[in-house]
Copies of this chain bind each other. A is one copy, B any other.
Amino acid sequence: MQKQENLSKNQKIILDLIEKSSGPLKAYSILFNVKKQGIKAPLQVYRALDKLIEIGKIHKIESRNAFVACKNSNCQVSKATAFSICESCEDVTEVSNLKLSKYLSNFADKSGMKYNKYNLEFFGLCKNCKK
């Protein structure tokens, strides 16, 4: 895994912001929040996001167009991601369940396709919201 020390300036700024956030952040909200640190254009944000995704430091929540820090310590799983998303408060938690990831990583159907990556999003109501 690439060390954080190897990240570029913009990548560090943006990873730092995402890691400190309590929930998923959207690209333009990230942009807004890093303007004071000299990042002025969407592309600067998207480029950093792309890199951070590539090295597994963050993940994109596809159904929300939002980005979260990886919560699996020393994550190797940018290619095998699962999240649970509360449809009421929009809280997102990264699911880390070894049985699930093994099951999905080994999944094969009759299509003859070779999978090298998956993304799973569960939806429902979190503990708080289902009260």
Contact = CB atoms under 8 A, between A and B. Distances in A.
A84 B118 CA distance: 9
Given A100-B107, A113-B93, A120 B118 contact: yes
Given A62-B63, A119-B120, A86 B113 contact: yes
Given A62-B62, A100-B107, A103-B103, A117 B113 contact: no
Contacts of A63: 62, 119
A20 B107 CA distance: 29
A113 B122 contact: yes
A117 to B, nearest CB: 4
Given A62-B63, A103-B103, A115-B84, A109 B95 contact: yes
Interface stretch (A9-17, A43-51, A123-131): A123-131
Number of copies: 2
A19 interface: no
A97 interface: yes
A112 interface: yes
B122 A117 contact: yes
A119 B121 contact: yes
Interface string A84-101: 101100000101010010
